[in-house]
Structure formats: C-alpha cells, structure tokens
Amino acid sequence: MSTTEPRLARGMRDLLPDAMRRRQRVVDTLRRLFETYGFEPLETPAVELSTTLLGKYGPDAERLIYRAGLGDEADLALRYDLTVPLARVWSGNDIPRPFRRYQIAPVWRGERPQRGRYREFVQADVDIVGAPGMLADAEILTIVTAGLDALGFTGYRLKLNNRRLLNGLGRYAGVPEAVLPGLYRAIDKLDKVGLEGVRLELRSVGLPGELLNRQRQAVGRWVRGQADRDRLARDLAAAVGDAEPAGVAERGLPAFLDALADFPNGGGDDARAAEAAAAEAAAAAMTASVDCLRGLYPVDRLIPDAVTDRLLDLLQLRDGSRALLAALGTRLDDAEAAVGIAQLSEVLDALDAAGVPADRYEIDFAMVRGLDYYTGTIFETVVETPPIGSIQGGGRYDNLLARFGKPAPAVGTSFGVDRLVDVMEALGLFPAEAGAAAADVVVAVFDAVTAPGAVGLAADLRRAGIRTELYLSADRLGDQIRYALERRASVVAVIGPDEAAAGTVVLRDLGARSQAAVDRAGAVDGVRAILGARRSGG
RNA sequence: GAGAUCAUAGCUCAGUCGGCAGAGCGUCUGAUUGUGGAUCAGAAGGUCGCGGGUUCGAGCCCCGCUGGUCUCCCCA
C-alpha cells in the first residue's frame, strides 16, 4: 500500500485543540465586542473573481494574491483581505447606510512564512460604510482600544496618522511624484531604524533596492566576522553583478571595497557589545556605499540631501502629543496637510468624548501603511515584544467602494487574530487552566452488562448541561481514572454491578481524592455539588 | 522576490578522524480482573528530509532539490 506523507502546504497550519481554544477565546471576545457596538455579521466566500481583487492593493501586495481555479475557471483568487470583498458586497446589494459590519474569517497571502507570518490567517474586521465624518473613525478607534483592553493588553502603542497630512509632507519635500512612495517607505522605518537609519533610507531612494539589500547582507556578514575578505569580495561582486547601468559593477565595486577597508572585521569578547559595534560598523559601511552609489546614478531619481535634512528636521518634532499637530501645521503650510490635521484633531476630540484614555494612542506622522486604498485617517498597533510587527491596522478608504460602481465613504480596521494569539501567548495573557478540560465528568464503563446504565447516566448529565465524556470501553477502572486525570476532568462517575444492584452511582471527586455513593436519581445534583464546590474553592 | 542557516525515533537532541543507529522524554505491554499522575520490568518505534556524486565504506565530504527557521522586502 502506498501512503501519503502527512505534510502541510507551505505556510499553512493545523490548530490542535489547545491552540484552537486560544484562538476561539480571542475570536469570541472580539465578536462580543463588535456586537456590543452594534455591528452586524457578514460572511463572504473565500474565493473571489481575480478581477475583484486585482488593482486594489498596490503592486507590492498584488503579487501575494493567491491565484486559484480549475482550468477554464482560472480567473479565480483567494481573498487577500476582508475589506475589498466588503466593497464588492456594498456595491452589489441594496444596503441602507451606514452599514456597520464585522467579519471574522481567514484570508490568504502568498508570503514567505516567518514568525507571525502565515499564508493563511484569520482577520477580525469591523468597518463602517457610508459615514463620512470623523465620528466614524473615532468609533472604530474606540473599538480597537476596547478590543486590546478586553484581551488583556496593557502597554500597546496605537499609532495615528492621516494620509492627507502625509500628502502635505510629500509636497513639503518637493520631490517628484514617482519618488514619493520611496520617501514614505523610508520615514515609515523611523521607529525601527532611528533618525540616522531614516537618513540612510532616504539617501537610498532611487538606488537599486536589490543591490543595496545584498550589500547590506554582505556587510553584515563582514562586520560580524562571518566572512573573510575573499568572501566579502565574492558577495559584493554577486551583488553588483546584475546592476544597471552596467558601469556600476566596474566603478562601484572597487570604490566600495575601498570604502569598507576602514571597517574592522569581527567583534570583541562581549557578545552584546560586539553586536552593537557590528551594527554601527555596518551602518557606517552602508553609508559609505550609498555615497559611492549616489555618484553613479542620475540625480533626478534621488532625493537631494537638502530635502533629507529638512525632513529629518521635521521628524524630530515627533512627540506623539496633540501640540504636535499645531506645530506641523505651521511648518508644512499646505492646504491638504491642514485638512489632515483638522481631521486628526476631530478624531482626538471624539476619542476624548468616548472616554478613551489618552495614553492608549499617539500621533505618529511617520506611520504610513502600505495599502494603496487608504485616503484619510490611518492607524496601526505594533508590539515590540515579541517582535512580530503589527497586530492591528486600518484606516479610512473613501475611494475604494467607487471602484465597484457605488461610491461611499468607509472606515474600518482589522485585527490579526493569529498574531494576537501569538503575542498573548508570549506575554502570558491566557489564563493557565482556562478551558483546558474538554469535559468535567468522565462516566466509567465497567462491563457490558452495566454499560447501558453508564450511557444513560452520561445522557442525563449532558441534558443537565454538564460537560460529560463517556468512556468508550470496559478497561480497568484504574486506567479510566488515569484517563480522566489526564483529561483534567473533575469527577469520575462509576456504575458497576454493585451500584447497579443498589440503584446508586459512585461519584469520585478527583480534586478531593474522595468518593461517595449517591442514589441514581440524585446523580446529576451530586455532580453539580462537586463541580460547584470545586469552582468556588478555586 | 533576495540572502543566511538548519534537517538523525512521535518530541528535544547527541553522534568524536568517514568505520555496527544512540540518549532522555513520550507511546505501548506487564507487575495490577473495582480506584490516582508514581515506581519497577519489558517492548515497539529509523529510507539519518529527497535525489545524485566521491569512497573499499557516507548520518558525517561534494552537487542539486524539498522543507523548517532567521534577516531583508512587505504586512496582520
């Protein structure tokens, strides 16, 4: 007989009972919350027409869309998120506005799996369609904080920004339209790489990303002492091998090797100090490399150093407070930025009115978000430990619904349920014992003659709403008790020949290590008494 | 999509110079035909990820592939 390997497709996971219970706990909490805020459930298919999804997310996201289909139906795709399907539903149905809907369902992305990154994962979305005002944005943000609070998060950082403010920032920089995405991407890294890191990123915009990426990796190996001079030269030669224009390889490689000669290979004794020194050396080496490359590429594709200085100057203002908005307004002096700032302060007012504590969120105009469809308010929550990225993200997307023929403003968010579970696990936010037992009572089966009595007892307990497992063979009683202990049940109920003859049931209290016989008619109450005592006793 | 690194029993891993495939935990059986997670005794469990190469001989060396993990990219 040929067997099939029990393997999973890449990036896919099974959720065994313990993991599934944790996910359900998160999902149940969010669903209850969403309903408390008056949101209605919606379900859409996993499979959409490719045309529904394509062209909505931007080029980076688009290549991650799972294409599916059967031969002549190959124009199908698995949904990438729950927002675009919502837009399709809105336009394809007659729904009164505002439409407040929630949807908790898996989505698929063809990513390279990593910690906290799966190809199939569950999103919990809440969105409001048809409400143009900032009250709607604040409503969504209130749910975000309430959700994170309800799940037990404490020091999270919910960052708030506005796309129109960002547009003003772009104009302030005064660079060509084509350079803007690179600029946004660079400043988005502020939290991760710091001010000098952003400088490097800004000065890298317009340079070939793949070349820089491979250079960074080669330099990392070199300064950490993982590569000798020959290896470094080989890595770098490979990195510049495909670079455009062709002259880069000839002129850039020697210059870069030269520049790098100043930086030491290998670290000291103390691992942490060595790591810090290596990071510093790598940054300096990359700065030298970028200097060298900027001389080789056309100036009109690069961000001028004067602009970089101006932007970095501006980024230093970032203090997360409300006063920041006024400061930004005067500095940017731009009509669209002014709209973004006004919207942000309206949102803040509404959050205050809703009683959301000010320490739950902060303004961060260096927070960008990658998806193309956002138009106004944007926000996301990032956790630092574990370093898993964002656990929640969302914003306003006033132009997306028009793409399906029925324009309407909309705002919403999605929680990354699987990342929430991962983070909560790492932070110990799940109660240790909660829900671990699948059943409170195990009904033992003594022999074939008494089995029907056991089956009947289990049925009675279940009718009373008590979680009951019927043992399914007549093993030795010791085995059945050991099994019940493994299952974390609280009670074993036994009807053997003696009990059957006497019309009784032996109820063994596993916690108290004691047992007593009760009348068969009083068995349910007897179990309740033990479970009740256990529960109140802690 | 780029790079690094790893892959030995169900799990965690050891395996020296290229020379008989190992340990702990778990599982199963028994000690024990009506009662506690222990203990003791025993057993099962392997294509050393897959395919090729070098060699008298490969878990170990070389090449390719697949998969996991990590760093980028991007995101939840």
* Phi, psi of A188, rounded to the nearest 5 degrees: -65, -20
pLDDT digits (tens, 9 = 90+) for A464-499: 999 999 998 888 888 899 888 888 889 999 999 999
For nucleotide B66, the protein residue with its alpha carbon nearest to C1' is: A10
Q: Which nucleotides of B are covered by protein (CB under 7 A)?
A: 1-4, 32-37, 67-76
Average pLDDT of the segment spanning A423-444: 80
Q: Return the pLDDT at A298.
A: 76
Q: How far is CA A292 from CA A202, A252, A257, in A?
A: 15, 7, 11
Mapped onto helix, strand or coil, the DSSP state of residue A101 is strand
At A410, the pLDDT band (50, 70, 90 cuts) reads very high
Q: Does residue A414 reach within 7 angstroms of strand B, measured from its CB?
A: yes
* pLDDT band at residue A206 under the 50/70/90 scheme: confident
Task: Using the predicted structure, report yes or no on whether residue A36 has a pLDDT greater than 90.
Answer: yes
Q: What distances in angstroms separate CA A60 from CA A57, A109, A237, A371, one per listed residue?
A: 8, 12, 28, 9
Residue A535 or A395, more confident: A395
pLDDT tens by residue, A157-193: 899 999 999 999 988 888 888 888 889 989 999 888 8
A111 touches strand B (CB under 7 A): yes
| Local confidence band at A538 (pLDDT 50, 70, 90 cut-offs) | very low
Q: Which nucleotide shows the minimum CA-to-C1' distance to residue A13?
A: B68
Q: How far is the CA of A471 from the C1' of B28 (A)?
A: 19
ipTM of the complex: 0.83
The domain segmentation of chain A, as residue ranges, is: 17-171+367-427, 207-296, 437-533
Answer CATH for A437-533 from 3.40.50.800, 3.40.50.10800, 3.40.1190.20, 3.10.20.30: 3.40.50.800
Helix (H) or strand (E) holding A110: none
Which residues 355-394 on A are within 7 A of strand B at the CB atom? 368-371, 380, 387, 389-393
Q: How far apart are alpha carbons A360 and A489 in whole angstroms?
A: 40
**pLDDT mean over A371-383:** 90
Residues listed for chain A: 538
CA separation for the pair A232, A254 (Å, rounded) = 12
CATH second-level architecture of A17-171+367-427? 2-Layer Sandwich (3.30)
Q: Is the CB of A36 under 7 A from strand B?
A: no
| Whole-angstrom distance, CA of residue A126 vs CA of residue A82 | 9
Better-scored residue on pLDDT, A343 or A472:
A343
What is the reported pTM? 0.89
User: What is the dihedral sign for C-alpha A449, A451, A457, A459?
Assistant: negative
Q: Using CA atoms, how far apart are residues A391 and A426, in angstroms rounded to an integer?
A: 13
A521-534 pLDDT per residue, tens: 999 999 999 998 77
Pair A413, A139: CB distance under 8 Å: no
Task: Work out the pLDDT band at A261, boundaries 50, 70, 90.
Answer: low
Q: What is the per-residue pLDDT across A271-304, written as a single tens digit (0 to 9) for each?
A: 556 666 777 777 777 887 788 778 877 777 788 8
Output the six-digit token pair for A518: 């009760």
For CA atoms A28, A33, A35, A39, give the dihedral sign.
negative
A255 CA from B64 C1′ (Å): 35
* pLDDT tens string A128-162: 999 999 999 999 999 999 999 999 998 788 999 99
Q: What is the pLDDT of residue A269?
A: 44
Q: Å between A514 CA and B41 C1'?
A: 31
Is strand B within 7 Å of residue A347 (CB)? no
Token pair, residue A384, equals 């630092």
**Strand B at less than 7 A from CB of A4:** no
* A423 Cβ nearer than 7 Å to chain B strand: no
* Range A322-336 average pLDDT: 89
Q: Tokens at residue A449, please?
A: 């003659």
On average, the pLDDT of chain A sits at 86
- The Cα A126–Cα A124 span in angstroms is 7
Strand B within 7 A of A503 CB: no
Is there contact between A11 and strand B, defined as CB under 7 Å from any strand atom?
yes
A154 CA – B70 C1', rounded, Å: 28
| A210 C-beta less than 7 Å away from strand B | yes
- The Cα–Cα gap between A160 and A392 comes to 12
Q: How many CB atoms lie within 10 A of CB A446?
A: 21
The single-letter code of the amino acid at A393 is G
Distance A482 CA to B42 C1' (A): 21
- Helix or strand (DSSP H, E) at A37: none
What's the Å distance between residue A481 CA and nucleotide B40 C1'?
21
Does strand B come within 7 Å of the CB of A482?
yes
Nucleic chain B contacts, protein chain A, residues 38-97, CB cut-off 7 A: 58, 60-61, 63, 81
* Residue closest to sugar C1' of B72 by CA: A213
Return the pLDDT at A213.
80
Buried b (16+ CB within 10 A) or exposed e, A343-381: bbbbbbebbeeeebeeebbbbbbbbbbebbbbbbbbbbb
Nearest nt to the CA of A120 via C1' is B76
